[in-house]
Amino acid sequence: MSNIAYMDYNATAPIVPGATQAIVDALACIGNPSSVHGMGRKARALMEDARDCVGAFVNVRSDWVFFTSGGTEADALAIKGCGRERILVSSVEHAAVLNASEVVETLDVDANGIVLLDGLEDRLKNDSRPTLVSVMAANNETGVIQPIAEIVEIAHRYDALVHCDAVQAVGKIDFDMQALGCDLISLSAHKMGGPQGVGALVKRPEIKLQAQISGGGQERSLRGGTENLIGIVGFGAAAKEKTNFMRVKALRDDLETQIKGLSDDIIIFGETVDRLPNTSFFALRGLTSERQVMALDLAGVMISSGSACSSGKVKASHVLAAMGVGDEYANSAIRVSLGWDSHKDDIDKFVQAYAKLVERVQQKNSNRSDAA
């Protein structure tokens, strides 16, 4: 990857060396974790070791952890499986939450994308139907962190359950499920240095869920289907790694200082509030996000125009729309996200390529004003 600056960790992080090694070792294990013979028991032991690591990672007992095929499935299991009549979710949630159920109702956010707590309380006070509140720990596009402990405190006062999509937060900031008081959380391995296609729904033991895939009753009847042993082992190993996010934050801050020096017309979303240390989402008016992503790609810089799941579609970010950002900025927003293998060279490569785009826009604007 030496000639490439990979800066799209919020889409998928490169696999950490410890997880790669654990996966390679696990490939030699041929047993099915449900088989009772020795090889099966060996496979199960590997899986249970990984469950311990994932549980410890978010400070819960391992029996709270149920492996799934990723964050999307964990979100769907929590939202569809909880049996609550009403589902209140923030309007900046990932599509995995927004599209998990037809009865999802959205909660308003402020200009930084933070859930309005008074609005949440009003909604709970004025309607006593059994409710699940689902709010993400940190946004995948802006990196803005939600006040989860406060949300839990309000929701529990009205007997609502709280699910938190922690997919982007874990590994980037401290995340202690018990300290926050969440009832259910979703995790995804490939956002934290593990492989794609594996994640977990973590829940308090007293919360009863309806399985969405029953099959052969694996995962204590909550998620049928032979477990993705290789993926689970990689997930467990990734959960043991500690990234130095102060180092990553210094790189992100350096990038932001440099781009702000290029033009006064660059907006960084969520700049003044608590954000993930690795994420920067910003807009340069006058050049669409897609054009910027393509130009940077040609320069060997891999970034994204928002959430990976919606890139490819020419559609402004629903997150920015919920924050009240106008089309002019929303249509030109790009996201840079860093991680364990990011270095100063990546930042310099990005800034060099981005400076050319800024120049292009400035040239276009001055040609326009000359013609006027």
Minimum Å gap between C-beta 77 and ligand PLP is 12
Site stretch for ligand PLP (CB under 6 A), options 30-38, 156-164, 305-313, 315-323: 305-313
Q: Which helix (H) or strand (E) holds 19?
A: helix 17-26
Our finding on whether 211 is near ligand PLP (CB under 6 A) is: no
Our finding on whether 96 is near ligand PLP (CB under 6 A) is: yes
Nearest to 168 by CA among 183, 198, 146, 188: 188
Q: Is 116 helix (H, G, I), strand (E, B) or coil?
A: coil
Catalytic residue (choose from 29, 53, 82, 309): 309
C-alpha Rg value of the chain to the nearest Å = 21
Residue 335, φ and ψ in degrees, nearest 5: -120, 130
Taking the least distance from each CB to ligand PLP, the nearer of 189 and 211 is 189
CB atoms within 10 A of CB 369: 7
Minimum Å gap between C-beta 248 and ligand PLP is 17
Nearest to 174 by CA among 224, 245, 240: 245
Site stretch for ligand PLP (CB under 6 A), options 145-153, 162-170, 240-248, 332-340: 162-170
The string of DSSP codes covering 133-195 is EE--SB-TTT-BBP-HHHHHHHHHHTT-EEEEE-TTTBTTB---HHHHT-SEEEEEGGGTTS-
Our finding on whether 165 is near ligand PLP (CB under 6 A) is: yes
Our finding on whether 286 is near ligand PLP (CB under 6 A) is: no
Nearest to 211 by CA among 73, 61, 47, 86: 73
Our finding on whether 33 is near ligand PLP (CB under 6 A) is: no
Our finding on whether 90 is near ligand PLP (CB under 6 A) is: no
Q: Is 342 helix (H, G, I), strand (E, B) or coil?
A: coil
CA distance 138 to 8: 16
Query: For ligand PLP, which residue of 101, 131, 134, 140 counts as binding (CB under 6 A)?
Result: 140
Taking the least distance from each CB to ligand PLP, the nearer of 97 and 283 is 97
Beta strands in the chain (DSSP E): 5-6, 65-68, 86-90, 104-107, 131-134, 161-165, 184-188, 199-203, 266-268, 279-284, 301-302, 333-337
Q: Which residues pair with 113 in a beta bridge?
A: none
Our finding on whether 71 is near ligand PLP (CB under 6 A) is: yes
Task: Report the length, in residues, of the chain.
Answer: 372
Question: Which residues 6+ apart lie within 8 Å of 242 measured at CB?
Answer: none
Our finding on whether 199 is near ligand PLP (CB under 6 A) is: yes
Minimum Å gap between C-beta 100 and ligand PLP is 10
- Per the annotation, the verdict on 164 as an active-site residue is no
Our finding on whether 94 is near ligand PLP (CB under 6 A) is: yes
Minimum Å gap between C-beta 148 and ligand PLP is 13
Minimum Å gap between C-beta 309 and ligand PLP is 6
Our finding on whether 188 is near ligand PLP (CB under 6 A) is: yes
Q: How many residues bind ligand PLP (CB under 6 A)?
A: 16
Minimum Å gap between C-beta 229 and ligand PLP is 17
Site stretch for ligand PLP (CB under 6 A), options 59-67, 71-79, 292-300, 352-360: 71-79
Our finding on whether 136 is near ligand PLP (CB under 6 A) is: yes
Note whether 194 and 187 are within 8 A (CB).
no
Our finding on whether 167 is near ligand PLP (CB under 6 A) is: yes
Our finding on whether 168 is near ligand PLP (CB under 6 A) is: yes
Minimum Å gap between C-beta 168 and ligand PLP is 5
CA distance 192 to 175: 13
Could you list the active site residues?
309
Binding site for ligand PLP (CB under 6 A): 70-72, 75, 94, 96, 136, 140, 165, 167-168, 188, 199, 307-309
